[in-house]
């Protein structure tokens, strides 16, 4: 997870002429932005591809997000800290916080502090207008476990210490389920998970182990979200081809393949085009960083042709990645790419 640091909900900037030309909102025959996103997810013929601008120009997009976590002075609520680098990314985990099971048993769950979590919701909703609102868990699930226990422990605990691993996992998932309930109470339309499962070449653990240990826990979380009227958005970096069908089966409404450059997108399209809605970026490892604006548009077209049908099934994802070498020209090209396909 190499995302650049960004504000929870940056202030709106003046819209450029490009956005004014593309977004002709206000006409009686146009869907509003929430309706547009819902239509794309439900395959109900959106009038264009909806777009999520995540860390810059957020109010130019159709989706906005509200972070449900709390500022703990540089650390995560569970107590781990990410080592900050000079490149502007969110950093990486240092030494495991809970290297042994005695430390796990002594470690408290985060304080819930519901009022503090909702302190900015009213302003967020007012600024959101008719946009689709996502409640964001931030780093979630297995990644929280991984950062607490360390990578080597995390990928072996399920086999070596299954009961202890299950207990800690259930603590993490239980806490997140309470956040899901808060998101519904706060008027969100969806809930966003950010839980990386892939390396550049495949899953961190065997697919069958993932299914036996995690699939049921996710199913319960997603079912609770749906009971509360929330749609489920799931982000994962890496090559997750082996478990996309599992996520589809257990109720993910929008699947974010965060690194389409390492996933066989032709295979994904053959199997799930017209069945599953996907959130897709222009690769932030390859094309959006080193490609030309023309190559960026061509990649957007390729993803659109592979993954979308006239009835919907795709949301464009735009993130400013100056921390990874993205030029201003390429950022603006990414901004245009999905929108140009939509008009």
**Per residue in 97-152, pLDDT tens?**
999 999 999 999 999 999 999 999 999 999 999 999 999 999 999 999 999 999 99
pLDDT by residue (tens digit) across 184-242? 999 999 999 999 999 999 999 999 999 999 999 999 999 999 999 999 999 999 999 99
With residue 281 as reference, give the H or E element that holds it: strand 277-281
Domain ranges of the chain: 17-341
Residue 28 above 70 pLDDT?
A: no
pLDDT band at 76 (very low <50, low <70, confident <90, very high): confident
Mean pLDDT over the full length of the chain = 90
Residue 11 above 80 pLDDT?
A: no
State the pLDDT at residue 39: 98
State the pLDDT at residue 260: 93
State the pLDDT at residue 25: 41
Handedness of CA 66, 70, 76, 79 (dihedral sign): negative
What is the percentage of the chain residues whose pLDDT exceeds 70? 89
Residue 22 above 60 pLDDT?
A: no
Residue 343 above 80 pLDDT?
A: no
- 295 CB-near residues (< 8 Å, 6+ apart): 287
State the pLDDT at residue 60: 92
State the pLDDT at residue 84: 74
CA distances from 331 to 55, 57, 158, 175, 258 (A): 12, 11, 41, 36, 16
State the pLDDT at residue 23: 44
End-to-end CA distance of the chain: 32
The pTM is what? 0.91
Question: What is the mean pLDDT of the segment spanning 31-39?
Answer: 97
Task: Specify whether domain 17-341 bears CATH 2.120.10.30.
Answer: no
- Return the structure tokens found at 310: 């006239």
Residue 203 DSSP SS3: strand
Handedness of CA 132, 170, 98, 77 (dihedral sign): positive
pLDDT by residue (tens digit) across 244-266? 999 999 999 999 999 999 999 99
pLDDT band at 16 (very low <50, low <70, confident <90, very high): very low
What is the percentage of the chain residues whose pLDDT exceeds 90? 81
pLDDT by residue (tens digit) across 58-72? 999 999 999 999 877
Alpha-helical regions (H) of the chain: 17-22, 33-42, 101-106, 114-117, 121-128, 142-149, 151-154, 157-160, 162-185, 207-210, 216-227, 244-249, 265-272, 287-290, 293-307, 328-341
pLDDT band at 18 (very low <50, low <70, confident <90, very high): very low
Question: Inter-axis angle of helices 293-307 and 265-272, to 10 degrees?
Answer: 30
State the pLDDT at residue 14: 38
């Amino acid at each position: 997870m190499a995302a650049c640091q960004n504000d929870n909900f940056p202030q709106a900037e003046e819209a450029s002429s490009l956005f004014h030309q593309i977004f002709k909102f206000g006409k009686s025959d146009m869907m509003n932005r929430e309706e547009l996103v819902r239509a794309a997810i439900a395959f109900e013929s959106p009038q264009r591809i909806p777009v999520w601008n995540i860390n810059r120009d957020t109010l130019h997009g159709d989706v906005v997000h509200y972070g449900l976590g709390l500022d703990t002075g540089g650390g995560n609520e569970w107590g781990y800290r990410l080592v900050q680098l000079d490149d502007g990314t969110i950093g990486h985990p240092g030494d495991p916080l809970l290297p042994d099971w005695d430390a796990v048993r002594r470690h408290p769950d985060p304080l819930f502090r519901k009022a503090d979590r909702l302190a900015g919701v009213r302003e967020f909703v007012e600024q959101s207008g008719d946009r689709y609102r996502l409640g964001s868990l931030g780093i979630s699930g297995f990644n929280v476990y991984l950062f607490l226990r360390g990578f080597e422990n995390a990928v072996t605990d399920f086999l070596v210490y299954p009961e202890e691993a299950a207990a800690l996992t259930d603590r993490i998932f239980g806490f997140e389920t309470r956040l899901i309930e808060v998101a519904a109470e706060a008027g969100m339309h969806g809930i966003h998970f950010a839980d990386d499962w892939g390396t550049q070449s495949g899953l961190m653990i065997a697919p069958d182990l993932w299914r036996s240990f995690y699939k049921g826990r996710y199913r319960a979380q997603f079912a609770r979200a749906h009971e509360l009227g929330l749609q489920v958005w799931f982000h994962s970096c890496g090559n997750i081809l082996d478990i996309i069908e599992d996520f589809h089966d257990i109720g993910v409404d929008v699947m974010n393949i965060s690194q389409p450059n390492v996933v066989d997108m032709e295979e994904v399209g053959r199997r799930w085009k017209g069945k599953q809605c996907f959130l897709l970026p222009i690769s932030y490892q390859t094309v959006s960083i080193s490609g030309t604006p023309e190559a960026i548009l061509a990649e957007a077209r390729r993803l659109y042709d592979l993954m979308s049908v006239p009835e919907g099934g795709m949301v464009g994802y735009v993130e400013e990645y100056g921390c990874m070498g993205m030029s201003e020209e390429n950022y603006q090209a990414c901004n245009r790419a999905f929108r140009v396909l939509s008009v």
